[in-house]
Amino acid sequence: MMKSVSVFCGSSPGTDPVYEDQAFMLGQILAGKNIGLVYGGTNVGLMNSVAEGALSRNGEVTGVLPGFIRDKGIAHGGISRLIIVETMHERKSVMHSLSDGIIALPGGFGTLEEFFEALTWAQLGLHGKPSAILNINGFYDCLDELLVRMVSDGFLKEENRKMLLFDSDIDRLLDRMENYVAPTIDKWIRKDPVT
Protein backbone atom coordinates (compact mmCIF):
# COMPACT_ATOMS: atom_id res chain seq x y z
CA MET A 1 0.00 0.00 0.00
CA MET A 2 1.35 3.40 -0.94
CA LYS A 3 2.00 5.64 2.06
CA SER A 4 3.50 8.52 0.08
CA VAL A 5 3.82 9.63 -3.54
CA SER A 6 6.28 11.96 -5.23
CA VAL A 7 4.63 14.36 -7.67
CA PHE A 8 6.69 16.05 -10.37
CA CYS A 9 4.95 18.96 -12.08
CA GLY A 10 5.33 22.44 -13.49
CA SER A 11 6.43 25.49 -11.55
CA SER A 12 4.08 27.35 -13.92
CA PRO A 13 0.27 27.06 -13.83
CA GLY A 14 -0.22 26.45 -17.56
CA THR A 15 -2.60 28.31 -19.83
CA ASP A 16 -5.77 26.33 -19.05
CA PRO A 17 -7.28 26.43 -15.53
CA VAL A 18 -7.93 22.68 -15.77
CA TYR A 19 -4.25 22.06 -14.98
CA GLU A 20 -4.41 23.82 -11.63
CA ASP A 21 -7.85 22.36 -10.88
CA GLN A 22 -6.68 18.79 -11.46
CA ALA A 23 -3.43 19.31 -9.54
CA PHE A 24 -5.42 20.66 -6.58
CA MET A 25 -7.82 17.72 -6.82
CA LEU A 26 -4.93 15.24 -6.89
CA GLY A 27 -3.63 16.74 -3.65
CA GLN A 28 -7.08 16.47 -2.08
CA ILE A 29 -7.52 12.86 -3.14
CA LEU A 30 -4.07 11.86 -1.90
CA ALA A 31 -4.84 13.40 1.49
CA GLY A 32 -8.25 11.71 1.54
CA LYS A 33 -6.55 8.34 1.03
CA ASN A 34 -3.93 9.13 3.71
CA ILE A 35 -1.18 9.14 1.10
CA GLY A 36 1.50 11.69 1.88
CA LEU A 37 2.60 14.12 -0.82
CA VAL A 38 6.28 14.59 -1.60
CA TYR A 39 6.93 17.41 -4.06
CA GLY A 40 9.37 20.16 -5.03
CA GLY A 41 8.61 22.47 -2.10
CA THR A 42 7.60 25.71 -3.84
CA ASN A 43 4.54 27.95 -3.71
CA VAL A 44 4.28 28.50 -7.48
CA GLY A 45 2.53 26.86 -10.41
CA LEU A 46 1.12 23.36 -10.32
CA MET A 47 3.52 22.58 -7.50
CA ASN A 48 1.62 25.01 -5.30
CA SER A 49 -1.76 23.70 -6.49
CA VAL A 50 -1.06 20.08 -5.58
CA ALA A 51 0.36 21.10 -2.19
CA GLU A 52 -2.60 23.36 -1.42
CA GLY A 53 -5.01 20.59 -2.40
CA ALA A 54 -3.41 18.19 0.07
CA LEU A 55 -3.23 20.83 2.79
CA SER A 56 -6.93 21.65 2.32
CA ARG A 57 -7.69 18.11 3.53
CA ASN A 58 -5.06 18.14 6.30
CA GLY A 59 -2.71 15.96 4.27
CA GLU A 60 0.95 15.39 5.04
CA VAL A 61 3.03 17.46 2.61
CA THR A 62 6.81 17.22 2.37
CA GLY A 63 8.72 19.61 0.14
CA VAL A 64 12.27 18.98 -1.04
CA LEU A 65 14.00 22.11 -2.25
CA PRO A 66 17.57 22.99 -3.22
CA GLY A 67 18.94 25.96 -1.31
CA PHE A 68 19.49 28.04 -4.45
CA ILE A 69 15.75 27.80 -5.24
CA ARG A 70 14.78 28.60 -1.65
CA ASP A 71 16.89 31.73 -1.96
CA LYS A 72 14.58 32.94 -4.76
CA GLY A 73 11.80 33.35 -2.17
CA ILE A 74 9.40 30.73 -3.53
CA ALA A 75 9.60 28.11 -0.77
CA HIS A 76 6.16 27.09 0.49
CA GLY A 77 5.83 28.30 4.07
CA GLY A 78 2.78 26.30 5.11
CA ILE A 79 3.67 22.67 4.41
CA SER A 80 4.25 19.93 6.99
CA ARG A 81 7.98 19.64 6.35
CA LEU A 82 10.51 21.36 4.11
CA ILE A 83 13.81 19.59 3.44
CA ILE A 84 16.60 21.78 2.05
CA VAL A 85 19.21 20.02 -0.09
CA GLU A 86 22.24 21.28 -2.00
CA THR A 87 21.68 20.02 -5.55
CA MET A 88 18.92 19.04 -7.97
CA HIS A 89 20.32 15.50 -8.02
CA GLU A 90 20.09 15.29 -4.23
CA ARG A 91 16.51 16.57 -4.45
CA LYS A 92 15.53 13.66 -6.73
CA SER A 93 17.31 11.14 -4.54
CA VAL A 94 15.59 12.38 -1.37
CA MET A 95 12.17 12.51 -3.03
CA HIS A 96 12.65 8.97 -4.29
CA SER A 97 13.66 7.70 -0.85
CA LEU A 98 10.56 9.26 0.75
CA SER A 99 7.97 7.89 -1.70
CA ASP A 100 6.30 4.63 -2.72
CA GLY A 101 5.29 5.83 -6.18
CA ILE A 102 5.81 8.63 -8.70
CA ILE A 103 3.29 10.76 -10.59
CA ALA A 104 3.99 13.34 -13.29
CA LEU A 105 1.59 16.16 -14.04
CA PRO A 106 2.06 18.59 -16.93
CA GLY A 107 5.27 20.55 -16.78
CA GLY A 108 8.40 21.49 -18.67
CA PHE A 109 11.99 20.29 -18.93
CA GLY A 110 12.43 19.78 -15.18
CA THR A 111 9.28 17.72 -14.82
CA LEU A 112 10.27 15.40 -17.65
CA GLU A 113 13.88 15.09 -16.48
CA GLU A 114 12.94 14.24 -12.90
CA PHE A 115 10.20 11.82 -13.88
CA PHE A 116 12.19 9.99 -16.54
CA GLU A 117 15.22 9.53 -14.32
CA ALA A 118 13.01 7.75 -11.78
CA LEU A 119 11.39 5.70 -14.56
CA THR A 120 14.82 4.77 -15.92
CA TRP A 121 15.85 3.56 -12.46
CA ALA A 122 12.77 1.30 -12.53
CA GLN A 123 13.63 0.03 -16.01
CA LEU A 124 17.10 -0.89 -14.75
CA GLY A 125 15.56 -2.80 -11.85
CA LEU A 126 16.77 -0.40 -9.17
CA HIS A 127 13.26 -0.10 -7.74
CA GLY A 128 9.79 -1.53 -8.29
CA LYS A 129 7.73 1.58 -7.54
CA PRO A 130 4.91 2.52 -9.92
CA SER A 131 5.58 5.43 -12.27
CA ALA A 132 2.45 7.18 -13.53
CA ILE A 133 1.35 10.09 -15.64
CA LEU A 134 -1.86 11.98 -14.93
CA ASN A 135 -2.69 12.93 -18.51
CA ILE A 136 -4.61 16.15 -17.88
CA ASN A 137 -6.25 17.70 -20.94
CA GLY A 138 -4.44 15.26 -23.26
CA PHE A 139 -1.14 16.97 -22.39
CA TYR A 140 0.89 13.76 -22.68
CA ASP A 141 -0.87 12.22 -25.70
CA CYS A 142 2.15 12.92 -27.91
CA LEU A 143 4.45 11.27 -25.36
CA ASP A 144 2.31 8.13 -25.48
CA GLU A 145 2.65 8.15 -29.27
CA LEU A 146 6.42 8.58 -28.96
CA LEU A 147 6.66 5.57 -26.64
CA VAL A 148 4.78 3.45 -29.20
CA ARG A 149 7.30 4.62 -31.82
CA MET A 150 10.19 3.72 -29.50
CA VAL A 151 8.84 0.17 -29.34
CA SER A 152 8.13 -0.16 -33.07
CA ASP A 153 11.59 1.16 -33.95
CA GLY A 154 13.36 -1.19 -31.54
CA PHE A 155 14.50 1.20 -28.82
CA LEU A 156 12.14 0.10 -26.04
CA LYS A 157 10.59 -3.20 -25.05
CA GLU A 158 6.79 -3.32 -24.92
CA GLU A 159 7.02 -4.62 -21.35
CA ASN A 160 9.02 -1.54 -20.39
CA ARG A 161 6.56 0.77 -22.15
CA LYS A 162 3.79 -0.75 -20.03
CA MET A 163 5.70 0.18 -16.88
CA LEU A 164 4.56 3.75 -17.46
CA LEU A 165 0.96 4.02 -16.26
CA PHE A 166 -1.09 6.57 -18.22
CA ASP A 167 -4.54 7.76 -17.16
CA SER A 168 -6.66 10.89 -17.19
CA ASP A 169 -8.69 9.89 -14.10
CA ILE A 170 -7.07 10.40 -10.69
CA ASP A 171 -8.83 7.61 -8.79
CA ARG A 172 -8.30 5.09 -11.57
CA LEU A 173 -4.62 6.05 -11.82
CA LEU A 174 -4.10 5.62 -8.08
CA ASP A 175 -5.85 2.22 -8.16
CA ARG A 176 -3.55 1.12 -10.98
CA MET A 177 -0.55 2.30 -8.99
CA GLU A 178 -1.70 0.36 -5.92
CA ASN A 179 -1.98 -2.82 -8.02
CA TYR A 180 1.25 -2.33 -9.98
CA VAL A 181 3.69 -5.23 -10.20
CA ALA A 182 7.12 -4.39 -11.61
CA PRO A 183 8.26 -6.52 -14.56
CA THR A 184 11.23 -8.81 -14.14
CA ILE A 185 12.81 -8.57 -17.57
CA ASP A 186 16.21 -7.56 -18.86
CA LYS A 187 16.21 -3.97 -20.13
CA TRP A 188 18.61 -4.53 -23.00
CA ILE A 189 17.37 -5.29 -26.49
CA ARG A 190 19.72 -7.65 -28.30
CA LYS A 191 19.68 -8.74 -31.89
CA ASP A 192 20.44 -12.37 -32.65
CA PRO A 193 24.06 -12.70 -33.71
CA VAL A 194 24.67 -12.88 -37.43
CA THR A 195 25.68 -16.38 -38.48
Give the start-to-end residue ranges of the domains of the chain.
4-178
Dihedral (C-alpha) 94, 38, 49, 32: value to the nearest 10 degrees? 180
Give the pLDDT score at 194. 47
Residue 124, classed as helix, strand or coil, is: coil
8-state DSSP, 99: -
Give the pLDDT score at 187. 61
Residue 7, classed as helix, strand or coil, is: strand
- Give the global pTM: 0.92
Place 63 in a pLDDT band, splitting at 50, 70 and 90.
very high
pLDDT at 195 over 50: no
Whole-angstrom distance, CA of residue 20 vs CA of residue 51: 11
Give the pLDDT score at 184. 81
Interval 144-172 mean pLDDT: 95
pLDDT at 59 over 80: yes
Q: Which of 60, 37, 62 is CA-nearest to residue 50?
A: 37
Range 4-178: architecture per CATH = 3-Layer(aba) Sandwich (3.40)
Task: Please name the amino acid found at residue 32.
Answer: G
